Amino acid sequence: MQLAQAHTLSDIAALIGAQILADPGVSVTGINEIHKVTPGDISFVDHPKYYEKALNSAATFVIINKEVDCPPGKGLLLSDDPFRDYVALVKHFSPFNPSLINRADNAVVGEGTILFPGVYIGNNVIIGKNCVFHPNVVIYDNTIIGDNVIVHANTTIGSDAFYFKKRATYWDKLVSCGRVIIADDVEIGANCTIDKGVSGDTIIGRSTKFDNHIHIGHGVVIGEMCLFAAGVMIGGKTIIGDQVTLWGQVGVSKTLTIGNNVTVLAQSGVDKDLESGKIYFGSPAGEARKRWKQMAASNNMLEIWEKMKNG
């Protein structure tokens, strides 16, 4: 999330009561979780396992719970609970502002767009021309949708990221401040759910088509002209290339990369990156021809075993 205006590091430190380990006058221009940071951003880290990744990331500022050597060009804020303080900053700069009418006063809807009864459009939503939104579609705040987009009934766009920290007696929510951005000519089936990014954008590329009952996790980036059949589930922050086909009930784990022109056959489970231009099958998914050969060999071994057992 980029801030509406820059703030000094001392201003940020004062908001959360953190100790400054840097020049207090430098400017903070954004707040982002570690997977989406850019220069000028402030992020957080609260586990030694991830210190190095955070300190060597693109983030200029890091909220951290241990005093460490600060890399050149970085600024640190020392906190006893970086997760808590990061959430406090998100709530301060992106406060919850409920709109209790079906179409927020500051939403923009393009010429020729049709809104069926029951459609809800939140704050700061921008919708292009000649779209169709069927009954009971819900579009959360800050979503951006292009031209000629069709969204079928009961689909929800922009719900919160599924991101929690385990505390001793409860799950602590990492509050989302990202967006969903949908390009031109996309069609989304009925009963789909598309989460906003934790702090960045969930993006669906031009002319991509979704069947019904599809879930897209937070911060996922999907390329152009993809085709997803019913029941596809994509974990958070996964990146999917152009012209990718995922057939029914394919599950894709988080933070993976799927190349261009990939096809994943039905009911496969993807747990690692997939190279461009190949067909995959199985759980865990592998190249389809290899998987079929393995299955054939396994069946042959079973037949041999049965013959040996029965004399």
Q: What are phi and psi of 277, to 5 degrees?
A: 75, 20
Residue-level pLDDT at 291: 75
Q: Over the stretch 76-123, which tens digit does the pLDDT of each residue have? A: 999 999 999 999 999 999 999 999 999 999 999 999 999 999 999 999
Average pLDDT over residues 8-37: 90
Distance CA 157, CA 139 (A): 5
Residue-level pLDDT at 71: 82
pLDDT for residue 311 is more than 60? no
Report the percent of the chain where pLDDT is more than 90.
84
Residue-level pLDDT at 305: 47
Distance CA 156, CA 120 (A): 10
Cβ-based neighbours of 201, under 8 Å, separated by 6 or more: 178, 179, 180, 181, 219, 221
Q: Over the stretch 260-306, which tens digit does the pLDDT of each residue have? A: 999 999 999 999 999 999 999 999 998 877 876 776 655 554 554 45
pTM of the model: 0.91
For the chain, list the domains and their CATH numbers.
2-93 (3.40.1390.10), 108-259 (2.160.10.10)
List, by residue number, the catalytic residues: 218
Residue-level pLDDT at 156: 98
Residue 221's DSSP bridge partners are 203, 239
Q: What does the mean pLDDT of the chain come to?
A: 93
Residue-level pLDDT at 114: 98
Q: Over the stretch 190-226, which tens digit does the pLDDT of each residue have? A: 999 999 999 999 999 999 999 999 999 999 999 999 9
Residue-level pLDDT at 83: 96
